[in-house]
Structure 1
């Protein structure tokens, strides 16, 4: 004689069997908090990695926060308000020079050139750098990479920033484009997409690229405290692997498709402008194609800082740069 299971017991047993199966399909992801120095098309590979699910594939849940300033990124890292920072490598040198007991280590390069362009208020058919002499130049904040690279390039072309032009550096980063639009300056140093927007609107004309002029430099890198990297080596490896996948995807993908992928991060920017800016950065090799920050780039950075009078102390490549992780994921 068959014995039938009671309905209530059968229902309970079904839940017992289903819950473990559901849990297997919903593996908990590890949260990583990133503090980025600004929101910029210059960082397209990061947003592409998020859009294409490369971090998710590695079991990482990325919490991205824009903190608007290199000093604020460092504060977030040092106070454990963020796990990883995206900022210029010069900030790690500043922290190191202050005698930090837990230095900030560069482990994944994102951009390998300066990302600014020289924009003229008036159209210039045959531009030459000596045309900046005696002009009013709206530059970037003193001590930051844009300003240091800007001065490095000007000196390279025989222009003394302090004596050969009227250099304005007292305007906050976020307000530089507004100041130029309001009539301040004959030339301005701008990132994308603002440079392309001004050109499209007829408010300015791109006449030169500081990135092309300054050569390879670790302009923006991912970095973390040494203690975090030692305690979370597998996590950093997963992060770097996702970054490398994104860098390869960007290198192999046309500007339009990249623009479509990153558009959710730039809702107020037209797709046409996004595509134009991405294409400009791709064509001049601004996006690093792998995460390795090599010694030549590191030395170029310190030369630029030294030229600008902003290098507090010379730091060996191996002191603040870890290439082991990048080399591992690339192999």
Structure 2
């Protein structure tokens, strides 16, 4: 084969390689418009433009999501950062590393069964309260906020925590509960239907925390740095897009992921999250947020180890994405 032919073959193979698509499996802890930037990245083609083909699976719960990640059932997990601390405390040899933050506040709202235009936190005392899963971020943040208002959730409430995450809305509707923590759009749907009244936001009350973060095993990160970087680039582009567009525009884009919810309801819910700053504006998980997370876990009695920030957080990919 001539030198010219070899050169042409090399250029052809290089071009094919540069246009190749890398498949990445992502496990999301639940399907929620709280994760609107992720669906924007998918629908606007930001992952595709980075050469990534995303296989998105909803794994319904922190435990199952982390099992999928640690057993190689997923390359990347979108889940609360607290799960990486739980894995670390189990002496894992292959840590789950947080590399890109998606949401930076709690995403739940306090919903009362009856209208309460003059709601005070004191009203919760002696009520039947349907809480979230023990050890999960919604429950820990909920307890943290209640304690800030002088309420001991385990002594001042009739607290129930025995309902699976996916069944909480139905249990509240049909059960003898006075209050519940709900994500959007369920909270707004209940309010519109007259089956609930949104009286407070846990996100506004608790401040910034690394509530939902993309993480991957240290081994995957070491072996696939370019893929992780491209993934983070796409996430950041989506975060910028969400900041620059209206709630209605965002709702139109992500509607395919919530076909059973009307556009106006999606718009109202997204606007709530935008107004309280729930969507992270960049993928960097900073040290102050990590400290807030540990404080909340410690207050709930769920912090298994005082894990240093540098042990489980890698901001290099996020910083690179922002600098481009």
The alignment's TM-score, normalised by the length of structure 1, stands at 0.92
| SS of structure 1 residue aligned to 2:221 | helix
**What is the aligned counterpart of 1:136 among 125, 128, 139?**
128
Residues 111-159 of structure 1: per-residue CA shift (max 9 Å, x gap): 0000000001111111110110111111111111000000000000000
Is the aligned partner of 1:62 residue 2:54? Answer: yes
Q: Which residue of 2 aligns with 1:183?
A: 175
Q: Map 1:11-90; keep pairs closer than 5 Å.
A: 27-90=19-82
Residues 3-54 of structure 1: per-residue CA shift (max 9 Å, x gap): xxxxxxxxxxxxxxxxx79x86993311000001000010000000000000
The alignment's TM-score, normalised by the length of structure 2, stands at 0.94
Query: Structure 2 CA distance, aligned partners of 1:198 and 1:26?
Result: 49
**What is the aligned counterpart of 1:324 among 285, 293, 316?**
316
Question: How many residue pairs end up in the alignment?
Answer: 311
Query: Structure 1 CA distance, aligned partners of 2:29 and 2:171?
Result: 21
Is the aligned partner of 1:244 residue 2:236? Answer: yes
Q: Which residue of 1 aligns with 2:7?
A: none
**What is the aligned counterpart of 2:251 among 251, 259, 263?**
259
Q: Which residue of 1 aligns with 2:287?
A: 295
**What is the aligned counterpart of 2:140 among 141, 144, 148?**
148
Pick closer, same or farther for the CA change 1:317–1:25 going to 2, 3 Å: closer
Pick closer, same or farther for the CA change 1:105–1:25 going to 2, 3 Å: closer
| SS of structure 1 residue aligned to 2:264 | helix
CA-CA distance at 1:73 after TM superposition: 1.2
Q: Which residue of 2 aligns with 1:8?
A: none
Provide the alpha-carbon RMSD of the alignment.
1.4
Q: Which residue of 2 aligns with 1:219?
A: 211
Is the aligned partner of 1:311 residue 2:303? Answer: yes
| SS of structure 2 residue aligned to 1:137 | strand
Query: Structure 2 CA distance, aligned partners of 1:198 and 1:76?
Result: 32
Alpha carbons 1:248, 1:289 under 8 Å: kept: yes
Query: Structure 2 CA distance, aligned partners of 1:79 and 1:137?
Result: 35
Give the structure with higher Rg (CA). 1
Structure 1 segments, 4+ long, off by >2 Å, are 23-28
Query: Structure 2 CA distance, aligned partners of 1:272 and 1:293?
Result: 32
Query: Structure 1 CA distance, aligned partners of 2:213 and 2:301?
Result: 22
Query: Structure 1 CA distance, aligned partners of 2:310 and 2:120?
Result: 39
Is the aligned partner of 1:195 residue 2:183? Answer: no
| SS of structure 2 residue aligned to 1:218 | coil
Task: Structure 2 unaligned segments of length 5 or more: list them.
Answer: 1-11
Is the aligned partner of 1:174 residue 2:166? Answer: yes
Q: Which residue of 1 aligns with 2:221?
A: 229
Pick closer, same or farther for the CA change 1:25–1:91 going to 2, 3 Å: closer
Alpha carbons 1:138, 1:184 under 8 Å: kept: no
Residues 166-189 of structure 1: per-residue CA shift (max 9 Å, x gap): 111111111110011113311111
Task: Structure 1 unaligned segments of length 5 or more: list them.
Answer: 1-19
CA-CA distance at 1:329 after TM superposition: 1.2
Query: Structure 1 CA distance, aligned partners of 2:18 and 2:318?
Result: 29
Is the aligned partner of 1:159 residue 2:175? Answer: no
Q: Which residue of 1 aligns with 2:6?
A: none
